[in-house]
Structure formats: C-alpha cells, structure tokens
Amino acid sequence: MNWNMLLFVVFPYVAIVVAIVGTVYRLVRRPFTVSSLSSQLLEGRQLFWGSVPFHWGLVLILLAHFLALILPGLFNVWNRSPIRLYALEITGLALALWALFGLGMLIYRRVSVSKIRAVTTPMDLVVLGLVLLQVITGILIATVYRFGSYWGTDVFVPYVQSLFILQPRPELVAPLPFILQFHASLFFVFLVVFPFSRLVHMITLPLRYLTRPFQLVKWVRRDRPAEPEREPVGVGR
C-alpha cells in the first residue's frame, strides 16, 4: 500500500460511501437541514456580487467537468481545431476568475459583516476554504498545465471511469504533477464534507418555486430603521 493507492483508490471509495450514506441519512432523518441556510435577509448587497459570480461560474465549470466525464469524445472532437480549443479554455478561465471574484466577496462578507459572522458555523468556513483551494488550484492547472480540457479526457476521465467499474487505475494519476493530484483528491475531500455541510443544498432543486405564487414576507416589527436609498412608500398606487 503506497500513498498513491491510499489517495486515489482507498480514499475515493471511502469518500463516495460517506457521501452517499451521510446524505441519505440527512435527507431522511434531518430533512429540514438540507439547505444552505440563506443569509440574504441579513445582508443582500455584497451577496449579489458574491453569490451570482460564484454560483454561475462554478456551476458552469462543474457541468463542463461532468460533461467531459460522460462524453469525453465530444471534447476530443471539439478540441481537434486549435481555435475551438482556445475558445473553450479562455471561457473556462474567465468563468473561474469570475467565480474567484465572487468567492472572495463571499469570504470578505462572511468575516466582515457582524450579522453574518454571528450565524457562521465552523463548517461554513471549512467549505469556503476548500472551495477557495479548489478554485485556485483549478486556475493554476488551467494556466500552468495547458490545456486541461484536452488532456483531461485521456488522463482523468479513464481514471474516474476505472473507479466506477471497480477496476481502479491509480497509475494514470501517479506520474502527474503534484497540483493536479491535489486538485483531484480535494474533490474526494468535498465528497466527505458534503453531507455534513451546507454543500448538501446542491442536490436540492427549487422547482416548485417556478409555479408557486409569490410570497410577501413582512416584518413583525412596525417599521425598519431608515436607510438613505430607501424608496418612498405609498406614492399613490
């Protein structure tokens, strides 16, 4: 048993089991905790500049990772033309940098706004730290070891597929640079953390929101403290 076996064969399977068992347990036994516990009511302005780039950037990049996993041939055909390869890589890097900006905003907001700090759990900070590490290593890989969208389909995709068919091939990952191994094994850390953190909100899709009527949320107290940019109330409509 060497470290490569431990990190890329044993750990992935342990992580997958923990993620599935933990998530099912939480969904069944603690269904109302399956949420990211929005703090939008506590602070909304910084949240917009943090949450929108963070979520759109990362969701699109995650979808691209997932698509490469299930349809590697599509990426190979696309990348046959250097121009298309470059367009894909530039788009990916732009989304990652945009997401990094949003993530920085979210971290700043979480530590600087006292109301948000009050509702912050240690696990929230762990998640932010892990995402920060993963985004930074992703950007480093995209720029130092170009072009991941092309070689990834022949280095990482066969490795991940080998895990799924229970015939792991850790030798595919062993000779890769440290930062690539780090990025890959950090994904399995995410799986372990998944059921015990706000990350579980990823598997919830608010589809009912599309059809349900608007909700009007009213404060219990009589009025809110005056704010400079507050719009006039009751202008005759």
Partner 1 sequence: MRRWLRTGFVVGAIAMAWFSAPASSAQETPDGREVYLASCAACHQGTGVGVPGSFPPLVDNPNVADAEYIRDVILNGKSGPIDVNGVTYDAEMPAQPQLSDAEIDAVISYIQAGVFIPADTVPVGEGGAAVGEKLFLGRTGLENGGPACHACHSAGTHSDLGGPTLGPDLTDLALRYGGSDAVAAALANPPSATMQPIFADKPLTDQERADLGAYFGSIRTYTDVQVDLLWILGLAGAAILLGVMFVFPKRNRINYLRQLRSRS
CB atoms within 10 A of CB 70: 9
Helical axes 178-193 vs 122-144, angle rounded to 10°: 150
Residue corresponding to tokens 């759990």: 121
Pick the closer one to partner 1 by CB: 35 or 121.
121
- Do 127 and 193 contact (CB within 8 A), yes or no? yes
C-beta closer to partner 1: residue 20 or 90: 90
Single-letter amino acid, residue 46: Q
Q: Give contact residues for partner 1 (rule: CB under 8 A).
A: 2-4, 7, 44-45, 48-49, 52-53, 57, 76, 79-82, 85-86, 89-91, 93-98, 101, 121-123, 125-126, 129, 142-148, 150-151, 153-155, 158, 169, 171-172, 174-176, 178, 182, 189, 214, 216-217, 230-233, 235, 237
Q: Which is nearer to partner 1, 96 or 199 (CB)?
A: 96
Residue with smaller CB distance to partner 1, 63 or 94: 94
Contact 173, 2 (CB under 8 A): no
Smallest distance, Å, CB 85 to partner 1?
Answer: 8
Number of H helices and number of E strands within the chain?
Answer: 9, 0
At 99, the amino acid letter reads: A
Kindly list the distances between the CA atom of residue 201 and the CA atoms of 37, 41, 140, in Å, as whole numbers in the listed order: 9, 18, 28
Diameter of the chain measured on Cα atoms: 76
Q: Which is nearer to partner 1, 26 or 145 (CB)?
A: 145
Given a contact cutoff of 8 angstroms between Cβ atoms, the answer to whether 91 and 78 are in contact is: no
- Is residue 61 classed as helix, strand or coil in its secondary structure? helix
DSSP codes of every residue in 133-163: HHHHHHHHHHHHS--HHHHHHHHHHHHHHHH
Nearer to partner 1 (CB atom), residue 176 or residue 199: 176
Least distance to partner 1, CB of residue 2, Å: 6
CB of 155 to partner 1, least distance (A): 7
Residue type, 131: V
Q: Smallest distance from the beta carbon of 44 to partner 1, in angstroms?
A: 5
Residue with smaller CB distance to partner 1, 27 or 42: 42
Q: Give least dist CB 29 to partner 1, A.
A: 20
